[in-house]
Structure 1
Amino acid sequence: MNVRESMVFSLEPRSGRDVAEWRMPPRIPAPRHRHAAPSGPWPWMDLRSDFFQLAQPPQAQPVDTSWPGYPQNLFPNWTPDQTRRGKITGPLGPPQTGVSSIYKVDVLLDGSFSDHEQFWVKDNDEHFWEDMQKQRPKMRVRSLFVDNMTLPVLQMLGTKYNVEPFFFTSSLNWIPSRYREEVVPGKSDHITITLTFIRTIQNPLTRPPTPTPSTETLPRLRDRPNTIPVFVDNQIIDTQAPLSLSSTGNILLLDLLAIHLVRNPDSSTILSYHPDAVWQTTSARRLHSLVQGVSQSVYWQKIFAKSDDPTFVLLAILWYACYAWDEALEVLYLHINWMESRVISTNDMQLVRELHIIEAHLLHYASLLNDFHKSVTFVLQTPNPAMDAPAYDPETRETSHTLMKTECENLLSEIDRLERSRVMQSSRLKNVMNLAFATVNIEDSKDMRRLTEATVRDSAAMKQISYLTMIFIPASFAAGVFGMNVREINPGTNGTLIHYVETSIILTALTVWIIVALQKNSPFHVEGEEMGFWTRLMWPIAYFRRRWQKMRRPIPKNPA
C-alpha cells in the first residue's frame, strides 16, 4: 500500500460483516449542550423533578475510594442517578463486561515516536490497573486510544488520571465541548475537546469494483442520468442522521473526536474515546495509526524537535477532522454537479426533495465547522502552564509559543477555507433549486398553454353545436306544440291552451321567485345589506315597494 492509499479516510465498515448484513449507521442523539462542561453547577439534573433533591443538602454516604467507585470517589457531587443519566452507568452506558482494545503510542523526549502497542483488557482485569500504577519511563506524552470502552476501563482511566466525568458524558452523548480544569499555574492542567465532524464512507451496497480517482469521477457521473437513488425514499430532513448521496453511493455521517489531555511537566497523557462500531465512526486503531504516521512527516518532526509541548500532538489529531471535512465536501461537490445535470435534463420532483435535504444538512454543517473553529481557537488561547515554569528556558518558551500560534493559525485558515467551500456549495445548491423550480414552472406554462389551446378548440366545437341546435329549435318548437294534449289540437281532451299558458306562467314565476330568494347577492335585493332567507323570500314585495317609493320621490329641480 502506498502513502496516498494509506491516507484515504473513506473507510470500510469496521465490523467486518458482509455486505448482505450491512446497515446504515443510526442517527446520533441530539446534543444536550447544557451538560457539556463542568462550569454548569447542576450536572445531568432535571431541575423540575430534582427540585427537592436540590433543596436538601446531600447526605454523607460511604464511597468506594478505589477505582470501582469512580466517579463518586473523586467527584462526590455525582450521584448514581446523575451517572445513569449521563450514560456512564446503566443500560445505555458502557457494558459491564467485555474486551476493550487499547492502542498506545509514546512520544519520547527527543520528539521521536515509539513503536505502537496494543492491549486487551477483559472485564475488570486488575493487571491493567496494576500496569498503570507502575513508574512510567521518561517521555513527553503517552497517547491511549480506546475501542469498545467497558465500564471498568472507564473507571480505571478516570481514577488514574483524575478525569472530570464530563469528558465521558460528553463523549458518550456526542456533546461538543471544550473546557480546561485542574489548573496548577506553572505546572499542569487538564483540557478536554469533544468535537463532531463529517466524514464520508462508501456504501458497500453500491461500491464500485475498483477505486477511481476523484478527477475521473465527474465525467462518469454525467453519463449516468438514470442512476437510481439510494436511500432517498427513506430519508427525512434529519441533520443528526447520515446523508446518503445517490449519485456516487457515498454516505456522509457524523464522526467524533473525544480527546482528554493531561499536561504535566514530567509526562503528559492523551486519552481518546471511540464510539461503538455500530456508529461506523473512526476506530481507535485507525486514529492510532494516523498519529503514528505523524512521525513520518518531516515538517512535524521539526516541530517536535523545537518544542516539547504535548499540545502539538493534540493539534495533529485535530488535523484529522480537517482532512475528513475536506473529503466529505469534495464528495458533496461531485454530487451537486450530478444533480445540476439531472435538473437540466429532467424535472423530476424527487430531485427537489433531495435538494432540500442536502440544504438542511449544509446549514447544520455550518454549526459543526463553527465548533471546529472554536476548538482550535481554544487550543491557541490555552497555553501549557508548564511552559511558564521559571526553570523553563525563555527562548525555548517563546519559540514554542510562536510555533503553536503559527500552527493553530494554519489550521484555522483551513477551517475558514472549508467554511467558504460550504457556503459556495450552499449557494450552488440554491441555484440548482431555483433552476428546478424554474424548469417546473416552464413545464407548467407549457401545460397551461396546451390546455388553453384545447379549450379554444372545444369552445369552437361547442359553438358549432349551438348553431346546429338553433337550426332545429323551430322544428322542435313546432313538434312540441303539435304534440300538446289540448282540445284545440287533439279534440276530445280536457286541457286547453289557456290552461297551458296559466300553468307555464305560474311555474315560471314560482321558479324565478325561489331562485332569487336563494341568491344572497341579486339586483332585486338591497345592495350591501345582509338578509336572512325568510327576508329574501319576501323579495317581490320589498322590490316593488322600493320601486314605488322611487317613482313617488319628487325630482329635484335644476337650480339653473
Structure 2
Amino acid sequence: MPSLRRVLDARGGKEPVRRPPPSHRHNGPSAPWPWINLHDEVDQVQLESPLPPIPPPCDHSTCDGCWKGYPQSRFPNWTPSQVRRSRIHRAITEYNKAVPSTIYHVDVNDSGFFTDSGKVVTTDETKDDLWNRLINEERPENIRVRALFIENMTGPVLQMLGARYNIEPFFFSSALGWIPSRYEEEVRPNQGDHITITLTFLRTMDHPEASSMHTFPSGSASSTMTSQYDFLSQQVIDTQAPLFLHSSDHFLILDLLAVHLIRSTDGNTIISYHSNDNDSTTSATYLHERIRFAGQSVYWQNIFQKSPDPTFVLLTFIWHAMYAWDESLELLYSHICYIETKVITTSDLELTRELHIIRAHHLHYSALLEDFRKAVDFVRATPNPAMDARPEEERMFSRNLLERECKNLLNEIHRLEMGRRMQDKRLKNVMNLVFSSVNIGDSKRMQQLTEAAVRDSAAMKQIAYLSMVFLPASFVAAIFGMNIKEIVPETHGSLSHYFETAMPLTFLTVWTVMAFQSKHLLGPDVTFWMRLFWPIALARQMLERRKGPAYRLDAPASEWDHKE
C-alpha cells in the first residue's frame, strides 16, 4: 500500500474539506482573555471568585479524578463559555463513542535508540484504566523521551492528558482550530518547561479517481472537467480550500502539526495531536512510523547519542513539515510549467481564472512559510531549562548543536521562500503572456472589422455616385409631375401657388434648424429664446466682435480700461 494512501486514507474521490480561517488572537496563554472577544461579557461568577487563580499542584492520588473537570479544574480562568468558544467543549462532549482512541508510543533511550513501545486502545468503558496507567506508570530509567501519537482523540483522553501533564488548554484549542501558535509555559529553572508548536503546512494529496474525473480535449489550454467533477469551474479564490492541480491529478491541501513537548528532569514527553479528519491530514500511525524511522538515520543517531536534549526529537517532527512543503512546491512548479506550455501554444482567456486562483494561494503560502520560520526561530531561541543542571561543556555542546540544526531548517525554509518567489514571478509572466495573446487576437479581429468597414464604405460611395447620376433626371421628373396649369392646362393650380406654399415652409424649416443648431455659433450659455431669434443675436455678436469690448455691456471692467 503506497505511503500516501496510508497517510490520507482518502474518501474515494471526494474533495478535501475546507479549513476555517484561524483566530490568531487566541493562539497562546500570553493573551490575558482566552477566547473572549471585545463584545463578549465577562463571567461575573469567576470574576468574584475568592479562590486563587492558580490551583495548587495535584498528585492525582486523592483528587478522585480531577481530569473530569479539565480544563476548569487546572485552569479556572477558562469559564464554560470560553471552553465552548474554543471548541474544547465540543471535543469533550460530542466525540464518536463508537470509535476507540489509540495512543501509539515511541521511546528514545539514553543511547538514542528509537523503539516501538506498543499502543494503548481505550474506550469509554476502559477510560478509568487509562487514567490509572497514566498516573501510576513508571518509566524505565534509561528512557529519555516518550512520544505519544494520539489517534481519534476522544473527550476523556483529551481531559486525562491535559490534567496529567498540566497542559495549557491553548494547545488543544489551537490544534482543534488550526491556529498557528508557539509558546513556552511552566518554566522551572534547572528542571524543565512546556513548549507548544502548532503550525499549518502544505502537503500533497493524490486523487484516487482523478484520472477518470476530467479530460483534456485537443486545442484546449485548460482542463475541461466533467459536469459531475468540474473542479476547475467550481474553484473560487479561497485560500483555506484545497488547490487542485489538474496537470498531475493532485490536491495541495493544508495539514496540521500540533506537538506539545514536556521537558523535565523527571522524564520528557512529546504529545502529538492528530485531527480526526483522517481523509486529508497526517495520521498518527504514519507519523509514528516516520519518527521511528528517523531514529535509523546515522546523522541523527550521532546527535541523539551525544546530546540528552529532547528538543532534537521535536526537530524531527518539524522536518516532516519541511518534506511536505518541499514536495508540494515542487509539484506546484511543475503545474506552472505545464500552464506555461499551454499559454504558448494557445491563448485561452479561461486560463486567467486558474492563474488568479493559484496566485492567491501563493500569497497565502507565503504567510504559512513565515509562520514556519517563526516556529523554528522559537525553538532555537527557547533553550531547555533542564539542561542548566548539566555540566557546562555538555550544555554548550548541545546548545551549539541545536543552533546548527535550527539553522539548517531555516536555510531550507529560506530556499522554499525563494522558490515560491520565483514561482510567483513566473505566474506574473504567464498572466502577462495570456493578456498579450488575447490582446493580439483582439487586434487581429479589430483589423478585420476595420477592413470590412472600409469595404462597406466603398460600396456606399458607389451607391451615392449612382444616386447623383439619377438625381437630375429625378428632379426633372418631379417638375413634370406637378399638377399646375403651365404643364397640365386642365388643372387649377399654378406655379405661383407652388412658390407661395413652398417658400414659407422652407423658411420655417431653415429657421427651426438654425434655432436648434445656433448653440454652436452663439455659445452653449445662450438661452433658448435668444436662439429662437438667432438672426438678431448673431448680428449683434458679429457687431460686438467688430467694434471690440468697448461696446459690450457684459465686458469685464478690465477690458474697458484696456480699450481706453
**What is the TM-score with the length of structure 1 in the denominator?**
0.87
Aligned to 1:346: 346
How far off its partner does 1:26 sit?
A: 2.1
411, 427, 430: which one aligns with 1:429: 427
CA contact (8 A) 1:177 1:194 kept: yes
* One-letter code aligned to 1:162: N
How far off its partner does 1:150 sit?
A: 1.8
How far off its partner does 1:115 sit?
A: 1.7
CA contact (8 A) 1:97 1:151 kept: no
Aligned to 2:58: none
How far off its partner does 1:442 sit?
A: 1.3
CA contact (8 A) 2:106 2:292 kept: yes
CA contact (8 A) 2:6 2:286 kept: no
Aligned to 2:209: 205
Aligned to 1:185: 189
507, 512, 521: which one aligns with 1:524: 521
131, 136, 144: which one aligns with 1:134: 136
Task: Provide the C-alpha distance between the structure 2 equivalents of 1:55 and 1:541, rounded to a whole number of angstroms.
Answer: 92
Asked if residue 97 in structure 1 is aligned to residue 90 in structure 2, the reply is no
CA contact (8 A) 1:178 1:378 kept: yes
Asked if residue 25 in structure 1 is aligned to residue 16 in structure 2, the reply is yes
Aligned to 2:560: none
9, 28, 40: which one aligns with 2:31: 40
In the alignment of these two chains, the number of paired residues is 532
Residue 473 of structure 1 aligns to a residue whose secondary structure is: helix
Cα distance change, pair 259–91 in 1 and its aligned pair in 2 (3 A): closer
Cα distance change, pair 375–463 in 1 and its aligned pair in 2 (3 A): same
* One-letter code aligned to 1:29: P
Aligned to 1:152: 156
Deviates most, 107-116 or 438-447: 107-116
* One-letter code aligned to 2:47: P
Cα distance change, pair 485–61 in 1 and its aligned pair in 2 (3 A): farther
How far off its partner does 1:69 sit?
A: 0.5
Aligned to 1:235: 235
Task: Provide the C-alpha distance between the structure 2 equivalents of 1:12 and 1:508, rounded to a whole number of angstroms.
Answer: 95
Cα distance change, pair 472–403 in 1 and its aligned pair in 2 (3 A): same
Task: Provide the C-alpha distance between the structure 2 equivalents of 1:494 and 1:545, rounded to a whole number of angstroms.
Answer: 46
Residue 354 of structure 2 aligns to a residue whose secondary structure is: helix
Aligned to 1:546: 541
Residue 523 of structure 1 aligns to a residue whose secondary structure is: helix
CA contact (8 A) 1:43 1:82 kept: yes
CA contact (8 A) 2:10 2:279 kept: no
How far off its partner does 1:107 sit?
A: 1.1
CA contact (8 A) 1:221 1:338 kept: no
Task: Provide the C-alpha distance between the structure 2 equivalents of 1:221 and 1:38, rounded to a whole number of angstroms.
Answer: 55
How far off its partner does 1:363 sit?
A: 1.1
Q: Which runs of 5+ in 1 are unaligned?
A: 210-219
Cα distance change, pair 191–360 in 1 and its aligned pair in 2 (3 A): same
Asked if residue 394 in structure 1 is aligned to residue 395 in structure 2, the reply is no
Question: Please, what is the CA RMSD of the aligned residues?
Answer: 3.1
How far off its partner does 1:56 sit?
A: 8.8
413, 416, 421: which one aligns with 1:415: 413
Residue 40 of structure 2 aligns to a residue whose secondary structure is: coil
Residue 431 of structure 1 aligns to a residue whose secondary structure is: helix
Aligned to 2:47: 57
Cα distance change, pair 553–406 in 1 and its aligned pair in 2 (3 A): closer
How far off its partner does 1:200 sit?
A: 0.7
How far off its partner does 1:371 sit?
A: 0.7
Aligned to 1:85: 85
Asked if residue 460 in structure 1 is aligned to residue 462 in structure 2, the reply is no
Cα distance change, pair 271–91 in 1 and its aligned pair in 2 (3 A): closer
Aligned to 2:557: none
Cα distance change, pair 186–458 in 1 and its aligned pair in 2 (3 A): same
Task: Provide the C-alpha distance between the structure 2 equivalents of 1:11 and 1:222, rounded to a whole number of angstroms.
Answer: 32
Task: Provide the C-alpha distance between the structure 2 equivalents of 1:466 and 1:353, rounded to a whole number of angstroms.
Answer: 50
Task: Provide the C-alpha distance between the structure 2 equivalents of 1:494 and 1:450, rounded to a whole number of angstroms.
Answer: 60
Aligned to 2:554: none
